[in-house]
């Protein structure tokens, strides 16, 4: 039956997050979570359940102050939200209001095109080069804004500050958003460019390097005018986005720099070792500055490896997308987890070769 009301239902193709399988024995290397957990300091604090009857501080003042102090910026340069997904969505809504298309790479975080569609923002996706690098010249054309992650996801490739500066110099009339979800794993942050570029917005998250994906904490840093604008949009949508436990625990986590550094260093050294082992097994991948590698095998289709690993209880990520469907994005877990994956791959590859 033709129901007339159907004509007015919004149809969107949603972003599909990686699976969150249940089960104890599973090795989960599919959503770039950090295996070490948040700072143990957060075990010593707890939100008083009595306070949960109260709305949280809409300005998230304590967390904002802690983030500002941590990065050495003013508090009116900081905006916080429910994970960087929320921050990015608010930023798209606030800053991308031109008829001209916004620009982001064809291979990148797959939420960008979902928000662009949802908010009816025109967009263009210039192709990455053959080696998966962003071609700066693609971003010299007229546009309504620019956004990309650095390091890029899912490639793991990080560009240097000269590259970012070049993009900014060619895009002085629009807002340029650099999504630094993975910057703590080895890249150089664009934070130091903020004084020179009033149109630069940097987005960060506690989900990856701070191992707090479950709390949903993200933030943006930029000039106070941009921050005021994004706050106005947020308060027009839902003023109490950050919950009390997240505000408290996020603030505490910033105090434990030693633990933060230690776990990041562990992940980086596991990555270095794991990359070497993967090369021996016939995999190749771009040099990663993130907590994952983006690997393809010289003989075996990625999809087959993905399915077989999953059947063995090891979850990695595979994207059925043009140009990258023969790649696996593998999160760097603990040494033990990566050893288990390597030994699975060794067996799988040798059986495959005997077939």
Measured in degrees and rounded to the nearest 5, phi and psi for residue 70 equal -60, -40
Yes or no: say if 22 and 196 are a contact pair by the CB < 8 Å rule: no
Q: Does 209 bind ligand PLP (CB under 6 A)?
A: no
CA 202 from chain centre, in angstroms, equals: 12
Q: Does 105 bind ligand PLP (CB under 6 A)?
A: no
* Smaller CB separation from ligand PLP, 213 or 349: 213
Q: Which of these segments, 64-72, 81-89, 161-169, 343-351, binds ligand PLP (CB under 6 A)?
A: 81-89
Q: Which of these segments, 72-80, 82-90, 166-174, 299-307, binds ligand PLP (CB under 6 A)?
A: 82-90
CA distances from 317 to 9, 41, 132 (A): 32, 31, 18
CA 296-301-303 angle, to 5 degrees, is 95
The count of residues interacting with ligand PLP (CB under 6 A) is 13
Q: Does 84 bind ligand PLP (CB under 6 A)?
A: yes
Residue 128 φ/ψ region, left for φ over 0, alpha for ψ in the -120 to 50 degree band, beta for the rest: beta
| DSSP three-state, residue 164 | helix
Residues counted in the chain: 355
- Binds ligand PLP by CB under 6 A, chosen from 79, 92, 95, 109: 109
* Smaller CB separation from ligand PLP, 121 or 345: 121
- Binds ligand PLP by CB under 6 A, chosen from 35, 218, 286, 333: 218
β pairing state of 123-124 and 102-103: parallel
Residue sitting closest to ligand PLP (CB)? 83
- Binds ligand PLP by CB under 6 A, chosen from 28, 35, 66, 85: 85
Which residues sit at the interface with ligand PLP, rule CB under 6 A? Answer: 32, 83-85, 109, 149, 153, 179, 181, 205, 207, 213, 218
């Amino acid at each position: 039956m033709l129901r007339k009301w159907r004509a007015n239902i919004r149809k969107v193709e949603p972003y599909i997050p990686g699976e969150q399988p249940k089960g104890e024995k599973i090795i989960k290397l599919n959503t770039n979570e950090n295996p070490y957990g948040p700072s143990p300091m957060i075990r010593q604090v707890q939100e008083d359940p009595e306070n949960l009857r109260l709305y949280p501080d809409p300005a998230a003042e304590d967390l904002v102050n802690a983030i500002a102090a941590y990065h050495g910026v003013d508090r009116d340069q900081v905006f916080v939200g429910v994970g960087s997904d929320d921050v990015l969505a608010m930023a798209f809504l606030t800053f991308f209001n031109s008829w001209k298309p916004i620009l982001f790479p064809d291979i990148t975080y797959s939420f960008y095109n979902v928000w662009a569609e949802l908010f009816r923002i025109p967009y263009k996706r210039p192709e990455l080069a053959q080696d998966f690098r962003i071609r700066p010249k693609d971003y010299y054309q007229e546009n309504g804004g620019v956004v990309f992650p650095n390091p890029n996801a899912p490639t793991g490739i990080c560009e240097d500050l000269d590259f970012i500066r070049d993009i900014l110099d060619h895009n002085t009339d629009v807002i340029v958003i650099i999504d630094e979800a993975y910057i703590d794993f080895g890249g150089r942050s664009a934070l130091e460019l903020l004084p020179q570029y009033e149109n630069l917005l940097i987005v960060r998250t506690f989900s990856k390097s701070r191992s707090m994906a479950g709390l949903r904490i993200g933030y943006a840093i930029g000039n106070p005018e941009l921050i005021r604008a994004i706050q106005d949009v947020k308060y027009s949508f839902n003023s109490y986005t950050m919950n009390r436990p997240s505000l408290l625990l996020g603030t505490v986590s910033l105090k434990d720099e030693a633990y933060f550094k230690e776990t990041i260093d562990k992940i980086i050294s596991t990555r270095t070792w794991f990359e070497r082992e993967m090369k021996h097994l016939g995999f190749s991948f771009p040099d990663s500055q993130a907590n994952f590698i983006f690997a393809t095998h010289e003989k075996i289709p990625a999809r087959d490896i993905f399915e077989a690993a999953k059947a063995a209880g090891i979850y990695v990520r595979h994207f059925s997308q043009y140009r990258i469907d023969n790649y696996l994005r593998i999160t760097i877990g603990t040494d033990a987890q990566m050893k288990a994956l390597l030994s699975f791959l060794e067996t799988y590859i040798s059986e495959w070769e005997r077939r």
